[in-house]
Structure formats: structure tokens, C-alpha cells
Structure 1
Amino acid sequence: MSEPKKSARFSNIREKKPHVHGPGCKHDHAHDHGHDHAHEPHVHGPGCKHGHDHGHGHAHAHEDKPHVHGPGCNHDHDHGHHHHAPRPKRIRPPGNRPAEGGGTALQLDLEGALPGETDEVGRFEKLEAALKSHHGVTDVHLRRDAGHTEVCIHYQPEGVAPQQLLTLAQYTSATVAGRYHHHTWFVRGMDSGDAAAVIEHAVSRMNGILSASVAYASERLVVEYDREALTLEDVEARVKSLGYGLEVPTAGHVCSHHAHGGGLAPLLEMPLVVAAGVLLAVGWLLERFAPVPALVPTLVWALSMASGGFFAIKGSVQSLLQRRIDIETMMVVAALGAAVLGAWFEGAFLLFLFSAGHALEHRAMDKARRSIESLSALRPEVARVRRGEELVELPVEEVAQGARIVVRPGDRVPLDGIIREGKSSLDQAAITGESIPVAKQPGDEVFSGTINCEALLEVEVTRPASESVLARVVDMVAQAEAQKGPNQRFAQRLERTFAPLVMIAALVFPVVLVLLGTPLKEAVLRAVALLVAASPCALAISTPSAVLSAVAAAARGGVLVKGGIYLELLAGVRAIAFDKTGTLTVGRPQLLTASPTPGVSREELLGTAAAVESLSAHPLAHAVVQAASREGLSLPPGAKDLEAIHGQGIRAKLGEEAVEVGNLALFAGQPLPPELAPEVNRLEEAGQTTMVVRRGSRFLGVLGVADTLRSGAQQTVQELKRAGIERTVMLSGDNARVARSIASRVGLDEARAPLMPADKVTAVRELGKERSVAMVGDGVNDAPALAAAAVGVAMGGAGSDAALETADVVLMSDDLSRLPFALGLARAATSVMRQNLMIALGVSGVLIIAAILGLTRISEAVVLHEGSTLLVVANGLRLLGYKSSGPRDASEVPAVSQPTAG
């Protein structure tokens, strides 16, 4: 019996993060905020539709079960935030695989060594330094070839014994983890990428901060810090002194709960822009048509500058106090320079357009964030919980794991769970992108946010609200911007070096012009035009707008992309490797053939096999037992003493007779009836997995079992080839004949089998040497191969914790047609990023040359500069409407009906 894929699921669950809402949030939940540290007053912005009389304590003061601090607890007990204790992730045991370049090495699971750590900077650097200080340790680094991240410690056996090193490493890890922590906040009040840079710069310079990163698009601040040197309140106070608020984000929400975007910015930004525009126009009319002193329009323009430049001036002061030069500083200096020279109109016009561009950019980014937040809004706020004969409505946050909830026809499912009573069809489009409702029955999983279409269901809750698939998808999408791709990193590096250089050039340029004989006023005005022209506003926003829009569009289409870097990597893929079972095939074997030997009836062959296979839990055994049940066979009694022979089959007794069921390897060296071997060959050529059945000394015949090819698999492969994928390969643990049979039916270029998980890793790496390769699997036993590929793509993420944890891109349904959609979207997003960079750099380049040659006035430079900024934002937002040109679901794709093996 060939060994199919094991389906044990990882138990690691992503850490919970507290709940957040933002601009346009329409959730109806109660805020009885029990915060015990000072936040700014709760300001409800325009469009707020909250019911403000509700009663759950948000983010900082949940009244749940008592907080129990166990061994290894890393909470800051002196801190005012009270979190739900996250469900622990699975920690793998230590390993002793050889070091990559030879020699001896010890591996510790990174999650166990430094909970929450993901990369080589910050806390890991502290661990690395501490471990390297021990005698006998030669190198410490991260290793990812096992499908999860490990701390790999190279050592000299003569210098330190393995057990001694393990004890030492675990103690050192615990010490480092106890001292150095990481923390994530939602940042309220950021109205531009400059604000993010100001916060990041200020926090990163604090004593005790190992690393600080602010993602403007997702409005998150992530720090790694030394808890002996500072507290989280110190960070909050530092950020508050800059005029921004911090709050702990809540699982499953993108936007802020407290001030709907935070601070004064969302409330005053657009009114101030409008006021600046009106004052600008009034001043111009007074100068042209009214018999008033020249001082009057000047004062009006000065007021316009103050109104339009309110937030820019505030931001530039903060930057200068930190000895930084950013875009806002450049704009304010340019406007003040124009005013000093008497060009008040130009200065006011500059700040009006700059603030108008920022306001529109801010609203556009909010639109992208709200498109993600709309996913979390799909989950109902209350659930109907069965208590005896009664139904009680409870907020979803209060429903415990294991509770029974009732879902009526037409209702959305409030929490993830398993159906215990009832049959129905569920519309899962919100999670998986499938447009056709999926039939469900007792024992099947259902997901929060899906719609019950037909009949009443009773569901047992398997995850709390904050750990539902929906909440985790929203969290991952919100955090995706932090995983920066090459285009994003290039834009950021350019922006950081560009701004100071332009400022220096703007100071040197007028001096050169004056020395060449240009009048002072004209020289300074041309320098101001240069400052405006060279300001990298469009560059700063070019990639975040595209990444945020693309990951939001992907999530709505049933695809989870974990970061901008994976969008760019997926766009560059030219080869795709597929796992077989559960990916190209359904993963549920069926009996297709029963060939008895002469003198044996089909009933005896199938009945005997089913009687002993009923003792086994193997998927192939289930296929045989189900076939006997369908045919109404009564199984012979007395099956007992089951023995499984790995990779070959089973032995058992039926009464006192021995029965063997397995592949030909089980009967190696024994004489077979002449007709058996040809029949086995024929069935295997047809793609079936064979099982020979012997009772006592009599060979009863051979059974052929096969998996079913996924509907649409052939169509998907054809689409991928049309999209420019140069090589498609199947990597299978099944026998080579079965693998080749399926590969030819699906239209793949090559099949490699039989492969163990380690062999799949080797195959992926070989393919990767020739061209960029993606690995598509179900995320269960394919984790090492997914990690080894340039991009790991997992299927069926809605039902698999392993898929959500291990892959870079997750197809939430078991629908392969989502793969061409994901590839097309990644290429579109990468194209938009490049277009935006070209627009930003191209417009800046033309304007710089025009400003140096004196061909453009300040007002013209401002219009083109702000126009390019809004153009790149609008271009990025186009991705929100991306639609696949291929089939959207399996119903649109012809099924492949040929039997295949599992």
C-alpha cells in the first residue's frame, strides 16, 4: 500500500492582538473603556456611527479570566495594558542536524528561544552576541530549511558537550527573552509618510530601543526594546510629545478604535485646506480688483499660509528638533523663502497645494485601509448561544471555545467552528473567494463571516473571535506592508538621501547664481522652485499605496499575500512546483477497480479486504471500507490483530486465517499467480494505487484505488503557461507511474517521484538555480519545500493553521484557479510600483532641470509636483479593483474525470 501524505496539522496559532477601528468604522460596539493610563480624550470623527452606550472594555482593560503568569511569561507587569493571554504557538524540540557547511550544530526553535521574533535584527542580535560569548560556540544564525525558523548554533564538540550546550543555550535564550521584548502599537494621527519617519526617528534614538519601525500605510509602530532600560509608557510618552497617540491594536481590525484616525488631523485637515484656498483666492481678488493697500492682500496670503501650512509647519518643527530634514521641512522653507522675497502669493499657493495633496493622499490611503477593514466588518457582533433549551445572544468576544451557537438561514456565521447538527450550503466568498456556495454537513468546518444559505445549523465554536480565520487574515493583511520588497526599499533609501542633498543644493544654488550675476531675488526664487521640484513626495508614497491596495484586492479575492516583498517575488516567478495530494488532487481516495483472480468472486475479494481494512485508519483503508458499504456487502466477522507494515500494507487475521493487503513489495520473493503482476502494471499505468489481497495461501485479486483530480487543475496549468510560466513540475511521494499519469493529464512538464519531504526541498532548490520558483502545496507536510522556494503558496488556508503559518502566499480556498489570479495581481502590482517610481523620478527630474534653467515658476512647479503625488496614489488605488481575467471558480472550468491516484 503506497504511503499517502500525512495530514497532521500544526497546532501553532498566531498571537492575538487587541482590537482597532478607524475612519469610517461602522461597528456597533460598546466602549466602556477601562483604561488605566492617560490617553487623549475619545474624539469621534465625522461619519462615526458607533453606538456609544455599549459596554465592553476595549484593548486595555478586558475583564476576562484572571491573568495567570506562568513560567517564561514575558509580559511587562508594570505596564497598564491588559491583554488577552495569547494561545501558545507550537514549540518544536531542539535538533542536532549538521551545520550547513559541515561540522556540528544545535538547532532551537526561534519561537521557543525568542517568542515573537521573526528576523536577524534587534533582539536576535542580542541573543547571537550572548551565545557567541560562550566557549566552544563558533557561529549563530537563523536557519529556515526545516519549514520553521530555528536558531542554529555551530559549536566545537571538544570545546562544549552537546547536552551542556543545550542547557546553556536554553538558559541564555530565556535570559535574553526575559530582558528584550517586542511590542506593536497602532499610531493615531499620522497624516503623511513624513509623520511616520518623524516617529520612527524619535523612537529609534531612545535609550533602550533596539529597533523601531513605523509602517505608514498600515499605521503600525513595532519596537524591540530593553525592558531594563525603558518601559512601554516611556515610548508612549515620547510619541505623545510629538503629537501622536498610540494604542494596542486589536485582532481582526485594521483601523483605530479610539479617535477614528487620531488627533486633530482628520477633523481639521480638509477644513484648513479649504480655508487656505478661500484666503488665497480672496487675496488674489483684492490685489487685482479692489482699491486697497498692498498690505491687505499680503496679510490675507499670510493667513492662507498659516492655514495651509498648519500641519506641515508642525511636522517640520518636530523634524528640525531631531536634526532631520524631510519633505515637510523643504516645503515650509520654500514657502517662507518666497514670502521673505515678497512672493506671498507663491508661498501661500505652495502650502495650499501641498496640504491639499496631503489631505487627498491621506483620504486615499484611508480608502485602501477601509477596504481591508470591510473584511472584518463581515463578522457579526453577536452570536446566538444555546444554553440548554434557551438561546442567549452574546457579544462574540464573550463566547467561549466549545460553546454551541445557532446560525439561522441568511445569517452570517459569527465564529469559526464545526457543524454538529444540520446540513446547509454556505457562501464562503468573503474568506475563500469562491463565488458558489459550498455544501456542508455535520463534522465540516465553518468560518466566521460566511453566510448560511439554506438550513438551520448548530455549530460548536473552535476558536475565540480574535483567533478566527477572518481575524487572522485581516491582521496579516494589515501587517503586510512591513514586509518590504526591493522597490519599496529602493524608494525609501532614495527618499532618505535625496531630501538632505536637495536642501544643500537649494542653499548653494542661489549663491552660485548671484556670483554669476543673477539678481538676488530671482536667484532665491529659482532656488525655492528647485526645492519644490526636487521634494520626493511622490517617491515616498509611490510603493506603500500600491502594496496596500494590492494586498487588499488579493484578500477580497480569497488570496492572502503576506507582504510587498512576496508580491514582487511572485511577479518574478518563472517555474512552479506542485505537490500532488491535496493540491492537484482532492486528497480523498476512492476504490475504482476490483479484479478478482479466477475462481474468486468480487464480493469475496472486496469483503475480505474491507473486513481487515476496517481495523485501519489509513485513507486507502477508508476507501475500501466505503466501497464495500456502498455495495451493501456484509463483512465476514472476526477481523483482529492488525499489523501495519510501513509503506507496504497491512497484515491481520480473519478468524484464524491470516490476511495480507498491500503492494507487491509486501509479497517480495513469493510466487504470484501469473495474471496478478500484469493486472497490477495495467492499473498503475492508469494512475491507480494497487493493493494485492491474500487470504491464507490464496491470492484473491487486486484492488485499484485512486484520488480524484481537482476540477479545473488542467485549466489552471494552461492559464499559467499562457501567463509565461516556463516550467511546471509535480513533486510527489507516490510511485513514479502514478505521478507521471497525473502529470500528463494535468499538462505538467515533468513529474518527480517518489520523493520524501527532504527530497522535495532538494528538487525545489535545483529548480531555483535555473529560474525563480514557487512551490504550491497544502501547507501540511510541504512546509520545508514551501520555505525553500522563492515563494511558498499554500492552498486551503481557511481550514489549515499550517498553511497560514508557513506560506508567503495563501489561497484561502482549495480552488487552484486562484493561482493565476494571484500571479496576475502580483505582476500588476509590481508594474504599478515601477510606474509610480518612474512617474515620481521622471517628474522630479524634469522639474529640477526646469528650475535650474529658470524655465518654471514656483506656482507651476508646485502644481506639477503635487499633481505627480496624487497621480501615483491614484495609480496605486487602481489595484483595489483588480479582477482576474481567468475563471473565478471550479464551476466555470471543465472537470477532469479520469481517475488518478493519491
Structure 2
Amino acid sequence: MTKKEKKALWRILAGLVLFAAALLLPLTGVARLIAFLVPYFVVGGGVLKEAAGNLLRGQMLDENFLMSLATVGAFAVGEYPEGVAVMVFYQVGELFEHYAVGKSRASIASLMDIRPDYANIRRGEELVQVDPETIKVGDIIVVKPGEKIPLDGTIISGSSMADTAALTGESVPRELAEGDNAVSGCINLTGLLEIQVAKEFGESTVAKILDLVENASSKKAASENFITKFARYYTPVVVACAALLAFVPPIFVGNWSEWIHRALIFLVISCPCALVISVPLSFFGGIGGASRRGILVKGSNYLEALSKAEFVVFDKTGTLTKGSFDVVGVYPKEGTQTQLLTLAALCESYSDHPISKSLKKAAGELPKTADIGKIEEIAGHGVQAEINGKVYFCGNEKLMRREQIEFETPSQPGTVVYLAEAGRFLGAVLIADEPKADASVAIEGLRKAGIRKTVMLTGDAKAVGETVGKTLGLDEVHAELLPGDKVDWVEKLLAQTSEQGKLVFVGDGINDAPVLSRADIGIAMGGLGSDAAIEAADIVLMDDKPSGIVTAIAIAQKTLKIVKQNIIFALGVKFLVLILGALGMANMWEAVFADVGVSVIAIINATRALNTKNL
């Protein structure tokens, strides 16, 4: 508990002790009044002060005014114990609310811990701690073990393990080495790192994430807007009804004291605390729970929309697949697989092309005894390389046809690298962008979550796209698309959704900005340090795992279920007890339950949105 909450708790406890003493002491007249006024002012002094201040500002119709009016009225008609009890239980409810909100804020505040306090920079022989905002692009910073990485950049010296949990929700540390990108907000665990800064603090990953989370509450869901408008009209209506209840019936049937008492009970019951507090708290908890899982939601409106998702549309490369080429098959015509792969890697040894890199990675350490002579690149075809005195041709089928070499193509789809020597076909290496480990699990999870259709839109060849779609179990695949074609397909799919249904597009946030914007909800595979992802999408998955979409939808559905439960429960109980109060069938204690009790129950229910462990 915070100091303020502890202070409020002690004030409530002191008020309860004084209240008990007033009940037990055999006092009458003015002495009895004073005995109950003391605990009343101890517990409710702040509420009375707040109500008076709001009255002076012209903001009288809030819960402070309703509580003050009801309790002062209770004292006016001689119901001293009820007046104190209402204020005590109201303050208990307020304390519980502050604690629940604090717990939700703590979840998001844990993400705020990624904000760096300082950066180390060399000044001569010494390391000096400076404000990260003063560091410029190109400066060299030093990060010691246990320190936060303050800015994005490239590691120029050192290696270490980094804790990325605050950004991705992943507990497994990531390995960092010279040449790797370092992302702000991670914690350096083991080694000393020297990093050349690539972005100023305002443009860094950590700054953008903090801005995203801090502004998430500014985008209200439709449910929140409804409650705000409801409370604006509801409060003056119930005050008017209470006034009518207090003064109209006595004109005809007399017994002014009884009807004023009923009106006061009516006011206590009518306070809309349960709705005004619990609905925003539910969304706040949902956003906080999502952040714990490495899912950044830019506003409760997107969380509400996600709960109504019907279609989920995917980009392929970098979203459902790894976005990096890997050797998936080696087909030698002569010799062994190792010999063919080594020859191909030697031919491509001087190239930085992604396909060349994948060949070298698969071949491992190349033989140092190999005599690599002249290597000539043939644009759009491949390379001609001299190795150990022999001339090899390594490239695509165009190169084979140009050299009039008969070749065999693997039956699997993918990028094929052919290898030949002096007119002889030696074999082929198949390279493909493999699906992510949890992609098929994600598609199955979406189906179980009630998603009507899963679709993939890709610019890749039809054979490649259809193979990935079939492997993962997607409902539809549309391939060989330009960015504009993807938007057209999203328009067609939007027309197929129901009136309440929403379309989600999931992309890597780099070249999918038009489609992310057109979809009802854009989800980006943020990865660490992807600026475009953080800016373009409504929701960002920081760990790049497709299964995060299933988790995000589960969190959204759970949050909206809690919101609906609270609205139905709070309104149902309130209207029932309001009728009973107006008919004289509910006393002040039942009124307290209808206000404070319902609020506490709704708040407890709202805090369940924070718990996402089992989703």
C-alpha cells in the first residue's frame, strides 16, 4: 500500500473505534450527537471537503455530493449510526478502489522500469554518467553488467546476455555479440558492451514504447464512453427523483420524516461508483495484463474491437515465417550432400546476398585449404567461380540454360541454387523461408477462439504461398500480390464480415502500413527495435510470435466479458434496491450494500483482467 492508502486505512480504523464507542456509550441528546459526529468527521471529513470544493466549482453532481447529502440528511432526521456507517463503508470502498487501481498501474509501471536513468560515456580515461537525452547519434556508450541499455545502437565491442523480459515478456535471455543490434530497455546481464548509438533517445525503442503505454488510456472503448455519458445523465436524474420522493408524497400522505429518510436511502443507493470505477479499471487491467505478456495495446478501444474479431489476415514473410532464408534440402547428382553444400558456399563466399549467407551458414566452417580463384558475378543468374583450378557455375535455372546444362529441379517449392562444373550438373540446394515454430499452433488456437476465417496475403510465388498455407492450415491463400493488391483483398474480406465482426491484419509493420491502417485492428510483429511496427499498428507483439495473437484475443475477450458482467451486475442490483428503497422496503444498511458492496464486488471482478497466466 502507498503512504496515502495507509493513512486512509488508519483514519478508517480510528473512525471505526470511535464509532463503536459511540454505539456502546449510554448517551442521549446533544452528547449522543457529538459522539457520532466525531467518527463521522474523522472518516468523512475529506469527502465533505471535496463535495464543498466541487460545489464552488459548479461540479456538484458527483459521488462526493451524493454521499455528503445522504449522510448529512441522515443526521438531520436523527439516524446518526446510519450516517456514520454509510460514510465508513463508502471510504472502505474508496480505499479498495485505490488499491485495485494501484495494482493495475503497478503492472504497467513494471514496463516503465525500462526507462534508463543514465548512459555511460567515455571522457578521456573516465566513464561519466550523463542524461540519455544528451547522447547524439554516433556517440560510443558503455553498458556495464546489470545496467539498462539506454539507447539503440550497434555493438562494436564485447559480448553478453540481455534480459528482454520487460519488452517481450520472454524470460530466456538473448545473446548479444559484436555487430549485433542493441535495443534500449533491455538489461545487460553478463559482459561489458560498447555500443555505437544509432538513434537519439526520443527516437529509441524505449521512448516510443513508453509513449505508447502512457497514452493508451486516452483512447476509450465504446463501453467506457457509454458509462461516462450514462453517469452524466444518470446522476441529475436520480437527484431529481430523490427530491420528488422526499417532498411530493408527504403533501398527500404526510409523515415528512419517513419520506425524507426514504429519499436519503435512494441517494445512497443511486451512487454510480461501481460502474464509473469498474469499467475503466477492467480495461486498464486488460492493457496491463497484456503488457506483462509482451503485447502492447494502444488503447482500450482496440482491446474492445479485438474481442469481436472474425477474420484474421496475415502477411507471410516475417509474420508467419521467419523472414530469413535457410537451407531446407540438398540434392546431389554427384558426390555427397556435404561436398555439394561446401562447393556452393565456396562459390558464394564473397557475396553478402541473403541466399549466399544461408549457404555459408549451412555449410559451417569452410576448408582453409581451398584455393579460391577468380569469382565473377553474372547479374540475374548467379556466379562463375574458380575453385582448386576448376570452374564452377552456381546460380538459378537461367544460368543453367545459358550454359546449356541439363538440370533437375526439386519437387518442393522454394528458391533453388543449381551447381555445375564444366558442363556437368552436380546437384541443387533448396532454400526456403521456414514457418515460425508456433505458427501452426497459432492458427489452430485462432480457430478454437472462434475466428471464422484465417487468410494469408503474400507477394511470394503461388506455389510457395500455397505450400505455407497448407502446412499451417490456413483457410485461404492469395499470392503474388503487390501492396495495393493486399489493400484490395482486405476491402473484399471486410465486406464479408458481420455487422459487429472485425477484421484483424497481422504484418511485420515495415511494408504493410497501408493494410495495417485499413484493417479494423492492425497487429504488428514488433520484434525488438522495429520502429515501423510500433508506429503503424494498433497492437504490437514484442516477441514476434504468432501465438501472441491468440493470447491477445483471449485477453480482449476476457476483459470484455468482465466489463459486461460488471455493467449487468451493478445496474441490476442498483435498480432493484432503488425500487425497494422508494417503496420503503430497503433500509440504510441495504443502501450501503447497493453502493459500496456492489462497488467492491465489481472492483474485485475487474482486477481479474490483470491475471493472464492461464491464457
> TM-score if structure 1 supplies the norm length?
0.61
* Cα offsets for 1:186-244 (capped at 9, x unmatched): xxxxxxxxxxxxxxxxxxxxxxxxxxxxxxxxxxxxxxxxxxxxxxxxxxxxxxxxxxx
- Paired residue for 1:16? none
Q: Secondary structure at the match of 1:439?
A: strand
| Distance (Å, rounded) in 2 between the aligned partners of 1:831 and 1:464 | 42
Residue of structure 2 aligned with 1:539, choices 275, 280, 300:
275
| Distance (Å, rounded) in 1 between the aligned partners of 2:355 and 2:216 | 40
Residue of structure 2 aligned with 1:578, choices 314, 329, 333:
314
Asked if structure 2 preserves the Cα contact closer than 8 Å seen for 1:534 and 1:847, the reply is no
1:637 and 2:374 matched = yes
| Distance (Å, rounded) in 1 between the aligned partners of 2:89 and 2:257 | 23
Asked if structure 2 preserves the Cα contact closer than 8 Å seen for 1:326 and 1:500, the reply is no
1:343 and 2:69 matched = no
Distance 1:283 1:604, change over 3 A: closer
| Distance (Å, rounded) in 1 between the aligned partners of 2:106 and 2:226 | 27
- Paired residue for 2:233? 497
Distance 1:635 1:780, change over 3 A: farther
Q: Secondary structure at the match of 2:156?
A: strand
| Distance (Å, rounded) in 2 between the aligned partners of 1:715 and 1:498 | 47
Distance 1:672 1:481, change over 3 A: same
Asked if structure 1 preserves the Cα contact closer than 8 Å seen for 2:404 and 2:423, the reply is no
| Structure 1 residue 507, shift from structure 2 partner | 0.9
| Distance (Å, rounded) in 2 between the aligned partners of 1:745 and 1:604 | 28
- Paired residue for 1:112? none
- Paired residue for 1:238? none
- Paired residue for 1:730? 456
State the AA in 2 paired with 1:279: L
Q: Secondary structure at the match of 2:70?
A: helix
| Distance (Å, rounded) in 2 between the aligned partners of 1:661 and 1:671 | 11
Asked if structure 1 preserves the Cα contact closer than 8 Å seen for 2:120 and 2:142, the reply is yes
Pairing 1:52-131 to 2, within 5 Å after superposition: none
State the AA in 2 paired with 1:768: L
Distance 1:618 1:569, change over 3 A: farther
| Distance (Å, rounded) in 2 between the aligned partners of 1:446 and 1:852 | 66
Q: Secondary structure at the match of 1:743?
A: helix
Pairing 1:652-731 to 2, within 5 Å after superposition: 662=396, 676=407, 679-680=408-409, 682-683=410-411, 686-690=412-416, 704-731=430-457
Moved more, 705-714 or 621-630: 621-630
1:787 and 2:524 matched = no
Q: Secondary structure at the match of 2:523?
A: strand
| Distance (Å, rounded) in 2 between the aligned partners of 1:419 and 1:672 | 44
Distance 1:628 1:346, change over 3 A: closer
Distance 1:364 1:380, change over 3 A: same
| Structure 1 residue 851, shift from structure 2 partner | 0.7
| Distance (Å, rounded) in 2 between the aligned partners of 1:334 and 1:797 | 55
> TM-score if structure 2 supplies the norm length?
0.87
Moved more, 510-519 or 481-490: 510-519
Residue of structure 1 aligned with 2:36, choices 275, 297, 301:
301
| Distance (Å, rounded) in 1 between the aligned partners of 2:415 and 2:327 | 9
Distance 1:474 1:556, change over 3 A: farther
Residue of structure 2 aligned with 1:476, choices 197, 203, 212:
212
* Cα offsets for 1:582-634 (capped at 9, x unmatched): 111111113445668899x998999689768956x653354356667855565
* Cα offsets for 1:500-540 (capped at 9, x unmatched): 11111111122332244151111111111111112211110
Residue of structure 2 aligned with 1:879, choices 603, 606, 609:
609
1:429 and 2:165 matched = yes
- Paired residue for 1:316? 51
Distance 1:631 1:748, change over 3 A: farther
- Bigger relative CO (Cα 8 Å, ≥ 6 apart): 2
| Structure 1 residue 841, shift from structure 2 partner | 0.9
Q: Secondary structure at the match of 1:724?
A: coil
| Distance (Å, rounded) in 2 between the aligned partners of 1:704 and 1:520 | 92
| Structure 1 residue 843, shift from structure 2 partner | 1.9
Asked if structure 2 preserves the Cα contact closer than 8 Å seen for 1:561 and 1:808, the reply is yes
Asked if structure 2 preserves the Cα contact closer than 8 Å seen for 1:375 and 1:470, the reply is no
Pairing 1:482-631 to 2, within 5 Å after superposition: 482-593=218-329, 618-624=353-359, 631=366
**Percent pairwise identity:** 34
Unpaired segments of 5 or more residues in structure 2? none
| Distance (Å, rounded) in 1 between the aligned partners of 2:475 and 2:397 | 28
1:279 and 2:18 matched = yes
| Distance (Å, rounded) in 1 between the aligned partners of 2:137 and 2:171 | 29
* Cα offsets for 1:461-504 (capped at 9, x unmatched): 44455654344333322321221112111211211111011111
* Cα offsets for 1:272-323 (capped at 9, x unmatched): 444443433332223xxx2x44211212323333333333333333443444
Q: Secondary structure at the match of 1:708?
A: strand
* Cα offsets for 1:783-832 (capped at 9, x unmatched): 12222222111113422011111111111112233222222111111111
| Distance (Å, rounded) in 2 between the aligned partners of 1:274 and 1:456 | 52
Asked if structure 1 preserves the Cα contact closer than 8 Å seen for 2:347 and 2:394, the reply is no
Q: Which has the higher helix share?
A: 2
Alpha-carbon RMSD across the aligned residues, in angstroms, is 3.6
* Cα offsets for 1:162-208 (capped at 9, x unmatched): xxxxxxxxxxxxxxxxxxxxxxxxxxxxxxxxxxxxxxxxxxxxxxx
| Structure 1 residue 269, shift from structure 2 partner | 4.2
Asked if structure 2 preserves the Cα contact closer than 8 Å seen for 1:407 and 1:458, the reply is yes
Asked if structure 1 preserves the Cα contact closer than 8 Å seen for 2:104 and 2:607, the reply is yes
Unpaired segments of 5 or more residues in structure 1? 1-22, 25-45, 47-264, 644-648, 886-902
| Distance (Å, rounded) in 1 between the aligned partners of 2:528 and 2:608 | 27
| Distance (Å, rounded) in 1 between the aligned partners of 2:118 and 2:187 | 15
Moved more, 482-491 or 692-701: 692-701
Pairing 1:198-209 to 2, within 5 Å after superposition: none
Asked if structure 2 preserves the Cα contact closer than 8 Å seen for 1:373 and 1:474, the reply is no
Distance 1:799 1:696, change over 3 A: farther
| Structure 1 residue 378, shift from structure 2 partner | 5.0
Which of structures 1 and 2 has the bigger CA Rg? 2
Asked if structure 2 preserves the Cα contact closer than 8 Å seen for 1:653 and 1:659, the reply is yes
Moved more, 816-825 or 510-519: 510-519
| Distance (Å, rounded) in 1 between the aligned partners of 2:404 and 2:482 | 32
| Structure 1 residue 779, shift from structure 2 partner | 0.8
Moved more, 320-329 or 752-761: 320-329
Asked if structure 1 preserves the Cα contact closer than 8 Å seen for 2:392 and 2:419, the reply is no
| Distance (Å, rounded) in 2 between the aligned partners of 1:659 and 1:447 | 41
| Distance (Å, rounded) in 1 between the aligned partners of 2:597 and 2:234 | 20
State the AA in 1 paired with 2:591: A
| Distance (Å, rounded) in 2 between the aligned partners of 1:332 and 1:814 | 52
Query: How many aligned positions are there?
Result: 603
Residue of structure 2 aligned with 1:330, choices 60, 66, 69:
66
Q: Secondary structure at the match of 1:773?
A: strand
Residue of structure 2 aligned with 1:359, choices 89, 95, 116:
95
| Structure 1 residue 694, shift from structure 2 partner | 9.7
Residue of structure 2 aligned with 1:810, choices 521, 530, 540:
540
Moved more, 698-707 or 582-591: 698-707
Asked if structure 2 preserves the Cα contact closer than 8 Å seen for 1:397 and 1:464, the reply is yes
| Distance (Å, rounded) in 2 between the aligned partners of 1:613 and 1:490 | 64
Q: Secondary structure at the match of 1:728?
A: strand
